[in-house]
Amino acid sequence: MNHRDLEEKIEGIRKLSPSLYGKDFLLTWEKSDEDLRTILEVASVLRKMRAANISPRIFDSGLAISNFRDNSTRTRFSFASAANLLGLAVQDLDEEKSQIAHGETVRETANMISFLSDFIGIRDDIFLGEGNKYMREVGEALDEGFEKGVLPMRPGIINLQCDMDHPTQSMADMMHLISVFGSVENLRGKKLVMSWAYSPSYGKPLSVPQGIIALMSRFGMKIELAYPEGYSLIPEIVEIAGKNAQASGGSFSVSHSMEDSMRDADIVYPKSWAPYHIMQERTELLRKADRGGLKDLEQKCLANNAKFRDWEFDEEKLKLTRNGSALYMHCLPADISGVSCERGEVSAAAFERYRIETYREAGFKPYVIAAMMLANRFENPGEVLAGLMKRSRRRSGTE
């Protein structure tokens, strides 16, 4: 893309009227269509600016706090990359090395880490009903600190995965779809299957499938949620997906057959998750620190999972899709049969066919996070991007 094309895209962003300024990004379904479009467009411009060797640094100091309460590779490094892209340094909050381990309250911690911080990225997806709640508790503490003059500014919070949603993942997935199919408009009428898939582990969060159905249903697509009986998601979020589909002119349906759901699919997203009722039970056991109960629950769940080993995406199921060539998607890491496990979500042959595509899919996440940061801090992101283009500072090199 040349500079003229970039400037035209930025001009389009300047005409948008998002409500993202000073607002945390916690759930996609709390954001307007204009908000989502702004994030996608800003992320696209930032990606193209970097490819054109134009520096998008808008900060010369400041911190982005990385608070991961669960393991992460892609999102952790995407957050760090996004912060660095805009000129911020990253500081990990290791709760085991902080005073949180000695009883420091959320209200206190939130303020103590925020004196010169611009953003706090939080992953908290282990406890059902607690992760998103925790993020809002941090937000309330920051509100108080800013209002009382403790903090010079109120840092923005970005949800890096909670118990309900994984917005940076689903928005990156959306960018990948736009890249593959050419435009948002071209997605209208496309069939996307969000399917449960077998895994030799239990307790995988619900947030990815919930995030996918809640976001993709807003773009006129035909969404089919497939899972074995008993592996349902949070009912309220499934209801949101249905309402979104109806409003966007798309459709939403539930299937209990992986094979049936795959027929004529344009996009498939086979991903394991734990049943909603199991996550509820697991959360109660975690709260009680009941190790024995957790071990018993794990064994029960693994035995139940084993009944559905045939819920594996393979070459035969790929043949059922439209023209036998649907786009395969995954948030990674996938459980690959014969590679990372004996039997898993996807066969080695099917995954290898799309392996590089899944890497490309993941590669959009740093730009999505950077866009969320920019739109949070600046009321008119288009004006900021136009200023960066006018400044035309090279990211690397001297010419």
Strand partners, 267: 192, 327
Strand partners, 337: 341
Question: d(Cα 44, Cα 185) in Å, to the nearest integer?
Answer: 16
Q: Per-residue pLDDT tens for 247-270?
A: 999 999 999 999 999 999 999 999
Q: Which amino acid is at 187?
A: L
Between helix 167-181 and helix 207-216 the angle, nearest 10°, is: 50
Where exactly are the structural domains of the chain?
A: 3-165+365-391, 169-362
Residue 398: the pLDDT is 57
Phi, psi of 306 (to 5 degrees): -60, -20
The superfamily (CATH) of domain 169-362 is Aspartate/ornithine carbamoyltransferase (3.40.50.1370)
Question: d(Cα 161, Cα 126) in Å, to the nearest integer?
Answer: 10
pTM passes above 0.85: yes
The pLDDT-based confidence of 99 (bands split at 50, 70, 90) is confident
The pLDDT-based confidence of 157 (bands split at 50, 70, 90) is very high
Q: Which of 303, 274, 305 is nearest to 125 (CA)?
A: 274
CB under 8 Å to 205, separation ≥6 — which residues?
A: 125, 126, 161, 163, 166, 273, 274, 279
Contacts of 378-381 with C-beta under 8 Å, sequence gap 24+, read 378/21, 378/58, 379/21, 380/14, 381/13, 381/18, 381/20, 381/38, 381/42
Q: Per-residue pLDDT tens for 164-219?
A: 999 999 999 999 999 999 999 999 999 999 999 999 998 899 999 999 999 999 99
Question: d(Cα 19, Cα 34) in Å, to the nearest integer?
Answer: 8
Buried-exposed string 267-300: b where 16+ CB fall within 10 A, e elsewhere? bbbbbbbbbbebbebbbebbeeeeeeebeebbee
Residue 1: the pLDDT is 59
How many degrees, rounded to 5, is the angle at CA 210 between CA 285 and CA 124?
A: 45
159 vs 81, 166, 327, CA distance in Å?
16, 7, 27
CATH number, domain 3-165+365-391? 3.40.50.1370
Q: Are 174 and 206 in contact (CB under 8 A)?
A: no
Q: Are 375 and 18 in contact (CB under 8 A)?
A: yes
Residue 98: the pLDDT is 74
348: exposed, middle or buried (Cβ count in 10 Å: 0-12, 13-18, 19+): middle
Q: Confirm whether 3-165+365-391 and 169-362 share one CATH topology.
A: yes
CB under 8 Å to 165, separation ≥6 — which residues?
A: 26, 27, 28, 29, 132, 159, 207, 210, 211, 214, 237
The pLDDT-based confidence of 3 (bands split at 50, 70, 90) is confident
